[in-house]
Amino acid sequence: MTDPQGFWSLVLHAHLPYIRHPEHLDFLEEDWFYEALTETYIPILSFAERLLNEGVYFRFTINLSPTLCSMMRDELLMSRYKRHLEKMIELSEKETFRTRSLPFHATARMYEKKLKACREVLDRNHGRILEGFKNVQNAGAIEIITCCATHGYLPLMIDRRAQAAQIRVGADYYTETFGRRPQGIWLAECAYVRGVDDILKEQGIRYFFLDSHGLLFSEPRPRYGVFAPVICPSGVAAFARDHETATQVWSADQGYPGDSRYREFYRDLGYDLEYSYVKPYLHSDGIRRNMGLKYHRITGKVALDQKEPYNPDWAREAAAEHAGNFLFNREQQARYLNGVMGRKPVIVSMYDAELYGHWWYEGPDFLEYIFRKMHYDQKTVKAVTPAEYLQMFPNNQMVQPCDSSWGDKGYFEVWLNGDNDWIYRHIHIITGKMIALAERYKKPGKLEKRALNQLAREVLLAQGSDWAFLMTAGTAIHYSHKRTRDHVHRFLTLERELLGRNLNEGFLKECETKDNIFPNLDYKVFR
C-alpha cells in the first residue's frame, strides 16, 4: 500500500469467566464456552488463517483473557467441547435431511458445513486453538494481548497489591501460554483508576485502552482527541475508543447487526421443534435450551412467530455491503482527520469479540470482507496494531487519564449498586487476609504451600467482575451468587485449617480439582 492517510486499529476483547464443573457430566453455564468457540473464536481464527494463507494484508489485536486461555488449555473442557461439537454435527446432518423440501434447507446445509469447518480447524491445530492464534501472531498478522487475571475490576479493589496481583498473574500467564511478554493489556471493563498504569509499567506493558471519555476528560485535554494515543505519567501509552465505529456496530437502532437480512438470535430450533426430536441433544436434565441452529432472519420489528426464513446468500450480501460502507466511512474519517490534525490518525474500534459470530452471526464474515476490501479496493486507510502505531509515532502528548470504564454511564455503577454491593465486603476481607498470609508465610511446608496457592486462586476467582455484572444484568443471578459464595467459603475454610495447623488434604484436593486455574500460580504474588 502507498502512503495511507490514516490507520485503523481493530481491537477484540475475547473473554469468558472461568467455568469448569468436573463434578457434573454437563453444565448449562459451560455451554457459554462451547457456543463461543463454535460461533466466535474458531470463525475468527479461521478467517485469519485464510487471509494469511492467501497473502491478504490484515492486522487486528485480540485480547484472549487468562480465564479464556485457561479453559482453552483445559483437557476436560476441550474433550467436552469435542463431544458437544460432534453432537451438533450429527444434529445438523439430520437437519439437512429433514429440511430437504423446506425453505430452511440452505440454512441447514450452511450449519452442517460450518460445524464441520470448526472440526477441521480444531483438527488442524491438534485440538489446541491457542496454538492457531499463536501461529498467526508469530506470522506478524495479529497481536494478542492480555487482561487482568480473572477480569478483576481494579477500581473497586482497595489495596494496590490486589490490583498488582491481577495484572501480574495475567501477564505471567500470557508469557507461559504464548512464550513472550505481552505488549498490551485490556483492563477488565476498560476500567481505569489513577495509579494502575504504574503497575502496568512494572510488568513491562506498553499500552492499554480507555473508553472515549476516559481520554477526553484527561488533564490536560488531549490535543488530538481519541485519534492518537497519549502517554501517562508512568510512560505507558493509552488508546481510546472511537465513538463512530462503536455506534455503527454496537447500536441496536443504527448498527449494522439490526439489518432485516441477518439471522434472528432469539428464535432457535431447541424451542421450535417437537421435544422428542431435540431431546437427544439436550443436557441430562432434559430442559429445552438454545441449540444454536436458528432458521429465521430479523425480518423487522415483528413477533418471533412472524419472522421470515433466513437466507444465507442475502445475509452474506448484507455483510459485504456493510463492510464496504464501514470502510468508506473510515476513508472519509481518515482524510478529514489527517487534514485537521496534521498527522496520521489512528481510529481505534473496540468490541467484545463475542459480538462477532455469537450475537451477530455474520460478524466474522463482515470483518473478513473489511480486510479484503481494505487490501484490494483502496489506499487511504491501513490496518495496524497499537504496537505498530507506537513504533511509527513514538512521540505523543503526556496526560493524566480520567477514572472511567466502558460500562453503562461510563464509570463504576454497573459493578457497584444495590444488586451486587453485598459481595464487596466479603471480597475485601478475603483479599486482606490473603495479603496478610502472603506476608506471614516465608517458608511454608509442602502442604502449606499448596494451600496458600489454592487460597490465592480462590481470591482471584472471587474478584472476577463477571459475577457483579451478571447480577446487575439479571442474567444467571443464582449462579453468580453461588460462585461468589463458593469461593469465599473455600477460602475461609482453607484459611482456618491452615492457621489451625489442621489442613484437610481431602478438602484441599477437592478445591484444587474444582478451581484448577493457573496451575503454576505462586501465592507470593499478593505480597
Strand-pairing partners, residue 403, are none
Q: Which of 379, 399, 403 lies closest to 153, judged by CA?
A: 403
Whether residues 395 and 477 fall in one domain: no
Residue-wise pLDDT tens digits, 443-478: 999 999 999 999 999 999 999 999 999 999 999 999
Whether residues 319 and 368 fall in one domain: yes
Does a structural domain hold residue 161? yes
Residue-wise pLDDT tens digits, 282-316: 999 999 999 999 999 999 999 999 999 999 999 99
- The residue behind cell 488508546 is 239
Q: How many percent of the chain have pLDDT more than 90?
A: 99
Does a structural domain hold residue 1? no
Residue-wise pLDDT tens digits, 358-379: 999 999 999 999 999 999 999 9
Whether residues 350 and 229 fall in one domain: yes
Instruction: Give the pLDDT of residue 72.
Output: 99
pLDDT band at 171 (very low <50, low <70, confident <90, very high): very high
* Encoded amino acid at 186, one letter: W
Does a structural domain hold residue 280? yes
Q: What is the CATH number of the domain that holds 341?
A: 3.20.110.10
Whether residues 33 and 102 fall in one domain: yes
Does a structural domain hold residue 129? yes
1 has a pLDDT exceeding 70: no
Q: How far apart are CA 132 and CA 48, in angstroms?
A: 10
For the record, the C-alpha cell of 419 comes out as 444488586
Instruction: Give the pLDDT of residue 251.
Output: 80
Handedness of CA 102, 103, 106, 112 (dihedral sign): negative
Q: Which stretches of 321-448 are assigned E, i.e. beta strand?
A: 346-352, 381-383
Instruction: Give the pLDDT of residue 94.
Output: 98
pLDDT band at 254 (very low <50, low <70, confident <90, very high): confident
| Peptide linkage before 155 cis (omega within 30 of 0) | no
327 has a pLDDT exceeding 70: yes
Whether residues 389 and 456 fall in one domain: no
Whether residues 379 and 518 fall in one domain: no
Instruction: Give the pLDDT of residue 253.
Output: 77
Chosen domain end from 357, 375, 409: 409
Contacts of 446 (CB under 8 A, 6+ apart): none
Does a structural domain hold residue 334? yes
Q: Report phi then psi at 10, rounded to 5.
A: -90, 130
Whether residues 349 and 439 fall in one domain: no
Q: 0.95 cut: is pTM over it?
A: yes
Instruction: Give the pLDDT of residue 495.
Output: 99
- Answer yes or no: are the C-beta atoms of 309 and 103 closer than 8 Å: yes
Q: Which of 391, 370, 393 lies closest to 382, judged by CA?
A: 370
Radius of gyration, alpha carbons of the chain: 24
Whether residues 75 and 129 fall in one domain: yes
Whether residues 323 and 303 fall in one domain: yes
- Answer yes or no: are the C-beta atoms of 207 and 184 closer than 8 Å: yes
Chosen domain end from 359, 375, 409: 409
Helices and strands, counts by H and E, the chain: 20, 9
Does a structural domain hold residue 251? yes
Instruction: Give the pLDDT of residue 250.
Output: 85
- β-pair type (230-231, 237-240): antiparallel
Give the count of domains, the chain: 2
- Provide the domain limits for residue 468: 416-526
252 has a pLDDT exceeding 90: no
Active site residues: 189, 352
Averaged pLDDT for residues 381-391 = 99
- Answer yes or no: are the C-beta atoms of 104 and 52 closer than 8 Å: no
Whether residues 450 and 355 fall in one domain: no
Instruction: Tell me if residue 208 falls in helix, strand or coil.
Output: strand
Q: In this structure, what is the dihedral angle of CA atoms 101, 103, 104, 107, given to the nearest 10 degrees?
A: 110
CA 490 to chain centroid, in Å, comes to 27
What is the chain's mean pLDDT, rounded? 98
Q: How far apart are CA 430 and CA 459, in angstroms?
A: 7
Does a structural domain hold residue 239? yes
Whether residues 34 and 80 fall in one domain: yes
Residue-wise pLDDT tens digits, 485-526: 999 999 999 999 999 999 999 999 999 999 999 999 999 999
- Answer yes or no: are the C-beta atoms of 9 and 61 closer than 8 Å: yes
Whether residues 240 and 283 fall in one domain: yes
Does a structural domain hold residue 293? yes
CB neighbours (10 Å) of residue 482? 12
Q: What is the CATH number of the domain that holds 499?
A: 1.20.1430.10
- Answer yes or no: are the C-beta atoms of 458 and 511 closer than 8 Å: yes
Q: How far apart are CA 332 and CA 322, in angstroms?
A: 15
Chosen domain end from 385, 409, 433: 409
Residue-wise pLDDT tens digits, 23-74: 999 999 999 999 999 999 999 999 999 999 999 999 999 999 999 999 999 9
